[in-house]
Homo-oligomer: A and B are copies of this chain.
Amino acid sequence: MPELRKDPIIGRWVIISTERGRRPMNFSVSPPVMQGGFCPFCYGNAEQTPPELFAVRPSKDSPPNSPDWKIRVVPNKFPALQIEGGQDKVGYGMFDKMNGIGAHEVIIESPNHDATLEQISEHSLVDVFISFRERILDLRNDKRFKYILIFKNHGIEAGASLEHTHSQLIALPIIPNLVREELEGSLSHYKLKERCVYCDIIRQEVSDKIRLVSENSEFVVLSPYAPRFPFETWIIPKTHSSSFENADKNIYIALAKILRDTLQRMNRILNNPPYNLVIHTSPLEQQNNEYYHWHIEIMPKLTRVAGFEWGSGFYINPTPPEEAATYLRDSRP
């Protein structure tokens, strides 16, 4: 059973994952991504993954785990957290821990091994977002879970261990630190101003234009004012909305259009960089609120995080966001 342990100084929780238990000899700095070899996510290999939790198929009559799929959601074969069990919070001398319960799922975004996320059709990308929503709606019935994080690692340098396009979902029994900081910051802005801080950011950025990359009817894309990483890019819905899963299909269609366009701009400017993409959304118990505003953050992996950052939580970014936005804005196919 994995454990959640709390740092006794700053209160940060970590997952000590026993399933993945790695001995010294099992570490390699560059884990090999399956290339050319066998891929469990490919069309025809559905029996190599745990049984599916959700799928999108051309025909509604097809049974689960049958081969004619477009998108599949399956449990992670090496989960960081375990789905069965209770929390069992216990103290151990001065230390605190609980059972590492949670869900860890993989969303396989295409049966085609070679497609990247921006290469699959707009229609399929909408289905990917609907798959995310369906999984959140299912998992939020489980009262043990407080937060659901959806993220994508693209490329070895961004932490991907399989190259076939996929995202991951982790349902957590606690609200993670960074999310809590965003919630507290947003709530304190709201208490002061009676406005959402992200809505305020959109207003200033659309008016200033210097950090604006693009917009459509529903979304703005911008280089944030104080980004941790070069070319970090946020996609924010224009209308206040606290949770990703509350959006309707029109929103997902507009998101598919602008996400594809944003990734294509990055690929042109940065030569197909590895990246992490994270959906920032409200905790399950605060689904509808006035202060937090869901959005997507994309972080190309262009520099290495080093001792300064690990020691201070402070980041050195060598590219001003105004320059990054200019490059991305001016990029034409």
Residues of A bordering B, CB below 8 Å: 3, 5-18, 20-24, 27, 29, 31, 80, 93-95, 149, 151-153, 156-160, 168, 170, 172, 176-179, 181-182, 184-186, 189, 197-198, 200-201, 204, 208, 224-228, 230-231, 269-271, 273-274, 276-280, 297, 299, 301-308, 310-321, 323, 327
Which chain B positions have C-beta within 8 A of A185? 8-11
Q: Out of B22, B269, B321, name the residue touching A24 (CB < 8 Å).
A: B269
Which chain B positions have C-beta within 8 A of A198? 9
Are A168 and B7 in touch, CB under 8 angstroms?
A: no
Q: Lowest 7 CB-CB distances: which A-B pairs, in order?
A: A159-B306, A178-B313, A278-B311, A151-B307, A176-B312, A276-B307, A176-B314
Q: From A154, which residue of chain B is reached at the shortest CB distance?
A: B307
Complex alpha-carbon distance, A221 and B159, angstroms:
30
Q: From A200, which residue of chain B is reached at the shortest CB distance?
A: B94
Are A179 and B13 in touch, CB under 8 angstroms?
A: no
Q: Could you tell me the distance in whole angstroms from the C-beta of A144 to the nearest C-beta in chain B?
A: 17
Complex alpha-carbon distance, A176 and B228, angstroms:
14
Complex alpha-carbon distance, A200 and B178, angstroms:
27
Which chain B positions have C-beta within 8 A of A3? 320
Are B27 and A302 in touch, CB under 8 angstroms?
A: yes
Complex alpha-carbon distance, A159 and B186, angstroms:
33
Q: Out of B13, B24, B186, B302, name the residue touching A9 (CB < 8 Å).
A: B186
**What would be 24 A-B contacts, judged by CB atoms less than 8 Å apart?**
A8-B185, A8-B226, A9-B197, A10-B182, A10-B185, A12-B313, A13-B226, A22-B302, A23-B319, A23-B327, A29-B302, A94-B200, A95-B225, A151-B308, A151-B310, A157-B304, A168-B307, A172-B312, A176-B314, A177-B312, A178-B311, A276-B307, A276-B311, A297-B311
Q: Could you tell me the distance in whole angstroms from the C-beta of A100 to the nearest C-beta in chain B?
A: 10
Complex alpha-carbon distance, A172 and B311, angstroms:
13
Which chain B positions have C-beta within 8 A of A306? 151, 153, 158-160, 276
Are B314 and A172 in touch, CB under 8 angstroms?
A: yes
Q: Could you tell me the distance in whole angstroms from the C-beta of A197 to the nearest C-beta in chain B?
A: 6
Which chain B positions have C-beta within 8 A of A318? 17, 20-22
Which chain B positions have C-beta within 8 A of A29? 157, 273-274, 301-302
Q: From A152, which residue of chain B is reached at the shortest CB distance?
A: B307
Are A201 and B317 in touch, CB under 8 angstroms?
A: no
Are B7 and A226 in touch, CB under 8 angstroms?
A: yes
Q: From A231, which residue of chain B is reached at the shortest CB distance?
A: B24
Are B178 and A314 in touch, CB under 8 angstroms?
A: yes
Are B299 and A159 in touch, CB under 8 angstroms?
A: no
